[in-house]
Amino acid sequence: MKLWSGRFQKSTDTLTDDFNSSIYFDRRLYKQDILGSIAHVKMLSKQGIIPEEDSLLIQKTLFEILDDIEQGKIEFDVAAEDIHMNIEQILIGRIGDTGKKLHTGRSRNDQVALDMRMYLKEEILNIRKLIKNLQIVLLELAKENTQTIMPSYTHLQKAQPITFAHHLMAYVEMFKRDKERLSDTFKRVNVLPLGSGALAATTYPLDRDFVAKELGFEEVSLNSLDAVSDRDFCIEFLGNLSILAMHLSRFSEEIIFWCSDEFRFVELDDAFSTGSSIMPQKKNPDIAELVRGKTGRIYGSLMALLTTMKSLPLAYNKDMQEDKEPVFDAIDNVKMCLPVFTDMIRTIKVNKDKMHNGAKGGFTNATDLADYLVKKGVAFRDAHEIVGKVVFSCIKRNIGLEDMTLKEYREVSPLIEEDVFQAISLEECVNKRNITGGPSEEMVKRAIEINRAMV
């Protein structure tokens, strides 16, 4: 019999039970649900709403149920609809009428909001830790590569020389913001909705601050309608994961083409690559591709929940049961991506020579030649024009700027002297960019230190 069957003359169709039920996926909230109930019932007796002995029996039995679930001893009942009613039903099955007092002053609407908030708080911390592990690996790799010159790109055309460390540190910064966003969201998740009842709170003198303290919530919600009817905290969490996935996807994309024969900047460890069933020579960057691919479903989760919530009138609507699967799926996938991606990076082999050669081609030092002329008194626009012409003639001769002779340079401009070769050497190009945020060895080392102290 359903816990809400009083008003009904007939039992539900099995199709209704199957369709309505969320136990298949919300069972993962069992721990949050039980701990939330324990705090609630503790408070009920403290407030004199139910007798102390009933409260103690309920608490003890809920702990036993928690244990039994963890040991796989419990079979959930689809007809009981969701995790909240399953647990309540099991409780009542074990201790009878006393168990029926648990739901005093509470609704599933504030209960489910509570469970989701508790669950997200835990997962935010888990994901933050996984991002941190990735950052630590990136910082290590960056430290080894502050002198590893590579080309940078705009439009995927070679731009200016930087170092591999500088490139890696760009991602360290992105992941730092991803962590910050999660921490910021955590503050808004950290608000207790319990006590909001179905939507208009309750007449019982609940001590919400007590429950908040018991469960580790920083604040108590101030509007019962809002607390049961919004899922913005889930949406912003999915937004955070989407941005994180976008960063991982961009990084994956780069790793994928760095592994290609055209680049060969890096080689993945055998343990983190795969072969082809037909082409014996292949070594494919499947992990990076799957991480890139999973970005789609994480964005999808965000869009799904945004769309579900759009136009819902206040307060709770059953549509909102659809919040769980996207949130769970995004969490599961991000938690799969981060560790494998981290280990893939940890074991990556860097082809320093290939990177250096890459930086040598494509006139990555052209800006520095223009800057050299500027330092000799030429206006930047004129210098840009002059160097453009030099580049054009070098392309025709199939040589680099460093291959021109001083005599040839002096025909371009009599201001050019022997020191030009120093000025356009790749090492100089990188290390002269020695301001905060720049790729010079000194600045990147400093950025590594700052980030190390923060992760």
CB of 83 to ligand ARG, least distance (A): 8
Are the C-beta atoms of residues 441 and 163 closer than 8 Å to each other? yes
- Tokens representing 410 are 């002096």
DSSP for 355-418, please give it. Answer: HHHHHHTTTTTHHHHHHHHHHTT--HHHHHHHHHHHHHHHHHHT--GGGS-HHHHHHH-TT--T
State which residue, 62 or 113, has the beta carbon closest to ligand ARG.
113
- CB neighbour list of residue 281: distance below 8 Å, 6 or more residues apart: none
Q: Is 45 noted as a catalytic residue in this protein?
A: no
Q: Three-state SS for 266?
A: strand
CB of 310 to ligand ARG, least distance (A): 17
Indicate which residue of 55, 155, 167, 311 is catalytic.
155
Q: Three-state SS for 335?
A: helix
CB of 448 to ligand ARG, least distance (A): 45
CB of 222 to ligand ARG, least distance (A): 21
State which residue, 18 or 382, has the beta carbon closest to ligand ARG.
18
CB of 229 to ligand ARG, least distance (A): 11
State which residue, 108 or 166, has the beta carbon closest to ligand ARG.
108
State which residue, 26 or 329, has the beta carbon closest to ligand ARG.
26
- Numbers of helices and strands, H then E, in the chain: 19, 6
Q: State which H helix or E strand residue 65 sits in.
A: helix 52-70
Q: Three-state SS for 81?
A: coil
Q: At what angle do helices 441-454 and 164-189 cross, to 10 degrees?
A: 30
Q: Is 393 noted as a catalytic residue in this protein?
A: no
Neighbours of 115 (CB within 10 A): 28
Indicate which residue of 11, 183, 276, 393 is catalytic.
276
Neighbours of 250 (CB within 10 A): 15
State which residue, 37 or 148, has the beta carbon closest to ligand ARG.
37
- Per CB under 6 A, residues contacting ligand ARG are 22, 26, 82, 108-109, 112, 316, 318, 320-321
Which of 9-31 are b and which e, b meaning 16 or more Cβ less than 10 Å from the residue's Cβ? eeeeeeeebeebbbbebbbebbb
State which residue, 321 or 365, has the beta carbon closest to ligand ARG.
321
CB of 324 to ligand ARG, least distance (A): 6
Distance of alpha carbon 445 from alpha carbon 440, whole angstroms: 8
Neighbours of 387 (CB within 10 A): 25
State which residue, 79 or 112, has the beta carbon closest to ligand ARG.
112
CB of 322 to ligand ARG, least distance (A): 8
- Active centre residues (catalytic): 155, 276
